[in-house]
Structure 1
């Protein structure tokens, strides 16, 4: 027999049903000293029309219980009262999310449309996350996402109890953060003349300029909005590769002296920054402004997909190698990353970088490895004593195709179905217990070469991001059939209420297809 708590997604650690229901009505009070109370009051006032003031004939009461695990909570629902105990403010927010889910899809509406009684099932829920890093990368460099849509995406992350937004702010195709010392980064690097529609050489150039950037105040607002929802924003400034937008703005950063525009294609770009003292200072200055805006202890320096050809041809690069006693251009790559890492460490921050940083010399102290090309780099780093975030493209890249359906839009990358994502295990098999403690968690990626609108983001992300949320929050044991039942019967209706244009399980709607736009399946 199904429990009334089987509607919750992600699945809680423990849920025990009891007889009865707690009714919500005009006399119900909502009280407690935590910010989550006001958030829940705002959401439920809109959906129910009830005042939910601090006094009434029955009450939902929030309190702090520091004995609970971090980000954890406990719900005790009886016919007379609802008592919420939370380890901290974030745990209280997650408890509020669970209460909203228990009220049904209509609780996710922005106006009262529900015609029946509002009620909560009686029983107890004890819950806390399995991993501390439950992330999603959002690439706003390839296709800029307006601030209002970033807020919406943060709301969707929060509804799934995800807690890290990795914000990919710079790449060859665009620079999206205002840097006051270097205004041309956005004035020039913030837009491109056109874009490739479709995959790489198979695609065709359109003639529509694309651009946009966030001011520092825009980003401060995003950080604050995320923080209210328990989400840390980890910014990424990608160096020393994926930097053509910066070189277009400041040609002296490049190696060839060529007058480059912001790149209009996709893929790995041969243009990387040079290794002069001036360029190192330039990016130190950039990171100084980044840490003025982002309070995250962890800052991403990229470090991925760095072609070495221009450095091989550069007398300045060879001179730098001789000065530093380096024997390969790959070591020069590591040297550049360490310049940024040391600079950030002096300011109380530490770096995360893509797994290439583990191949180009000793990792800086405190560096986190994002294992994206597979799991082995993460395994090796964890065994060597480094912290790891697992994000292998073979498993959790949500821009990759999610079906072999003939009308799948721009099908690129690996086939990763909803079931595949749900089956992913962030702790690789064979990793010993000590090394496994250094797996901070996992992160999905939404690269946006082919996700050029919020509707396309919705399609690529959901419902697979819902499956991933359960992977990183819930206990390791999985029940695919039970998950699919909860998803289809309860969670997809919530996404409908929120206006999420997810991919239907049976295949895309006609307006979600992209006829004639080529992909490149792997």
Structure 2
């Protein structure tokens, strides 16, 4: 019935029918949630849903519940949604919406529909506090209205963290007023690689876009109204060619470069000059003003060291700083940003490569290369977000079918994703407390429009949402599959162009565009090589 599966649901007798006499009410601190709830109900139902002293549906606070916990009670005479805080009440309202006919999710009047909610009592709370999605808008820009829609879809599934990947080699997407060229020239590229093969051609079509600071404030506020925290990510010290196009002096080569049109790991990295560090501290200062999130992403992944090794000035700079290994150049740069964020009362958030150096105590690690990073970080006392690529990278192909569009890496089915467990079994109970939760990652090299994002993300994100919300002991894929079949009708009403179980529809295919699939054995060997540096650091 509900996705995610609740902790406890007990069916009662009868149903509550919503009609023109139905009224709403809420405790004073829940007026914003009540306003949202009315706006969610009205378009499809057309019901006036007037506010009264004690409505047919009442929203209230119960201080005995956790902040995100809720209790939903529906009887033929009325319904109450109580939560430990506004977020819990919001999630209770989302559950109530799912109990209505799926047509409630349509944005226009649905005539002739009977709006009935079955009598139930639902007691629920999330397993993890970080239930997230990483959305990459750097490889392919997503217009503002589509980002807002994506946030709405997150909220439907009670996901509460949008990790927003805003900068990379292929485009800089956030306006920084003190460095205007970052978006004036760094936000667009001349063309785009088409396909995943290393020798794939390019389309020659300019691509770009960025969010103004007013756009950012709007998106952050919209997300907050839906209890979604937006965690920005500014990539350093690799994945920076868009910034180097705008300000070549930041790079080791200090020569003009184009915004990159290719995929993969780029050799161009930041130099170690103090002026470059200060540049990015200035970027972070504006980011801090835009995003109230306790966490600020600083990247730290896939940073080649060849330019540092070959560059005489970098070698001189290393001697000035007392650095003896090129690997420690990345550590030094990341730590400078980390210290700045710590001093500002925020926490650095980076990919698990940042474990290859010394981190400030509050730094949080996104473990993407399997779960080795999660284990290492937790054992060192750092908080962890689990996002292993072999479980929750939603840009990976969804089957072995030959018509999967641009098939990348290993196949991850809905069932594969449903098995995602954020807490590594080898952690002690004390160490496991450092696992704040998990997230799915959607990279957009091969998702050049929101329709393709829909296809890659859904319904697999429904499985991730349940893995992060529901009790681990309640995991039952057969039960989930039965509920998902009904849930797909909700996605239909929401206009989500999800992947059907029997494969892509013809318009979702990309015939003639090569991918780069791999086997699990190939992927495991590659990841084992990548994580060797973490093991060496721990040793």
TM-score range, shorter chain: over 0.9
For 1:423 and 1:345, how far apart are their aligned partners in 2?
A: 35
- Mark the CA change 1:183 to 1:200 in structure 2 (over 3 Å): closer, same or farther: farther
8 Å contact kept, 1:235–1:299: yes
Is 1:393 the counterpart of 2:389? The answer is: yes
For 2:423 and 2:112, how far apart are their aligned partners in 1?
A: 45
- Mark the CA change 1:500 to 1:340 in structure 2 (over 3 Å): closer, same or farther: same
For 2:264 and 2:250, how far apart are their aligned partners in 1?
A: 21
Is 1:369 the counterpart of 2:365? The answer is: yes
Report matched runs for 1:391-430 at 5 Å.
391-430=387-426
Is 1:287 the counterpart of 2:284? The answer is: yes
8 Å contact kept, 1:200–1:265: no
For 1:309 and 1:46, how far apart are their aligned partners in 2?
A: 57
- Please name the residue that 1:461 is paired with: 457
User: Which range is displaced more, 312-321 or 160-169?
Assistant: 312-321
Shift of 1:383: 1.3
Is 1:29 the counterpart of 2:23? The answer is: yes
Report SS of the residue matched to 2:198: helix
8 Å contact kept, 2:295–2:346: yes
1:248-284 CA-partner distances (Å, limit 9, x unpaired):
1111011113321000000000000101011001000
Give the aligned length. Answer: 514
8 Å contact kept, 2:25–2:54: no
- Please name the residue that 1:17 is paired with: 11
Report matched runs for 1:105-124 at 5 Å.
105-113=102-110, 115-124=112-121
- Please name the residue that 1:191 is paired with: 188
For 1:330 and 1:134, how far apart are their aligned partners in 2?
A: 32
Shift of 1:317: 1.8
Is 1:437 the counterpart of 2:430? The answer is: no
Report SS of the residue matched to 2:424: coil
For 2:306 and 2:52, how far apart are their aligned partners in 1?
A: 69
Which residue of 478, 481, 496 corresponds with 2:478? 481
Shift of 1:201: 1.8
Which residue of 49, 52, 55 corresponds with 1:55? 52
1:156-184 CA-partner distances (Å, limit 9, x unpaired):
00000000000000000000010111111
Shift of 1:315: 2.2
Report SS of the residue matched to 1:31: strand
Shift of 1:229: 0.3
Report SS of the residue matched to 1:204: coil
Which residue of 98, 103, 111 corresponds with 2:100? 103
- Please name the residue that 2:537 is paired with: none
Shift of 1:14: 0.7
For 1:402 and 1:116, how far apart are their aligned partners in 2?
A: 36
For 1:437 and 1:121, how far apart are their aligned partners in 2?
A: 37
8 Å contact kept, 1:139–1:446: yes
- Please name the residue that 2:307 is paired with: 310
For 1:384 and 1:355, how far apart are their aligned partners in 2?
A: 13
Shift of 1:56: 9.1
Shift of 1:200: 4.2
Report SS of the residue matched to 2:489: helix
Which residue of 456, 460, 470 corresponds with 2:466? 470
For 2:54 and 2:346, how far apart are their aligned partners in 1?
A: 49
Is 1:174 the counterpart of 2:171? The answer is: yes
For 1:72 and 1:104, how far apart are their aligned partners in 2?
A: 24
- Please name the residue that 1:512 is paired with: 508
Which residue of 470, 480, 489 corresponds with 1:493? 489
1:398-453 CA-partner distances (Å, limit 9, x unpaired):
00001111210000012110000001111111211111111000011110000000
- Please name the residue that 1:81 is paired with: 78
- Please name the residue that 1:269 is paired with: 266
8 Å contact kept, 1:275–1:316: no
Shift of 1:320: 2.5
- Please name the residue that 1:212 is paired with: 209
- Please name the residue that 1:164 is paired with: 161
For 2:185 and 2:107, how far apart are their aligned partners in 1?
A: 40
8 Å contact kept, 2:338–2:359: no
Is 1:349 the counterpart of 2:343? The answer is: no
For 1:319 and 1:509, how far apart are their aligned partners in 2?
A: 57
8 Å contact kept, 1:58–1:80: no
Structure 1 gaps, min length 5: 1-6
8 Å contact kept, 1:198–1:410: yes
1:65-85 CA-partner distances (Å, limit 9, x unpaired):
121012111011111121111
User: Which range is displaced more, 33-42 or 143-152?
Assistant: 33-42
Is 1:521 the counterpart of 2:502? The answer is: no
User: Which range is displaced more, 24-33 or 312-321?
Assistant: 312-321
For 2:54 and 2:425, how far apart are their aligned partners in 1?
A: 53
Which residue of 425, 448, 451 corresponds with 2:447? 451
Structure 2 gaps, min length 5: 519-539
For 1:441 and 1:414, how far apart are their aligned partners in 2?
A: 23
For 2:117 and 2:104, how far apart are their aligned partners in 1?
A: 12
1:3-26 CA-partner distances (Å, limit 9, x unpaired):
xxxx10000111111111111110
8 Å contact kept, 1:28–1:57: no
For 1:486 and 1:417, how far apart are their aligned partners in 2?
A: 17
Shift of 1:58: 6.0
Report SS of the residue matched to 1:196: coil
Shift of 1:350: 1.1
- Please name the residue that 1:70 is paired with: 67
For 1:388 and 1:92, how far apart are their aligned partners in 2?
A: 27
Q: Tell me the TM-score normalised to structure 2 length.
A: 0.94
1:172-201 CA-partner distances (Å, limit 9, x unpaired):
000001011111101111000000010142
Shift of 1:203: 1.7
- Please name the residue that 1:502 is paired with: 498
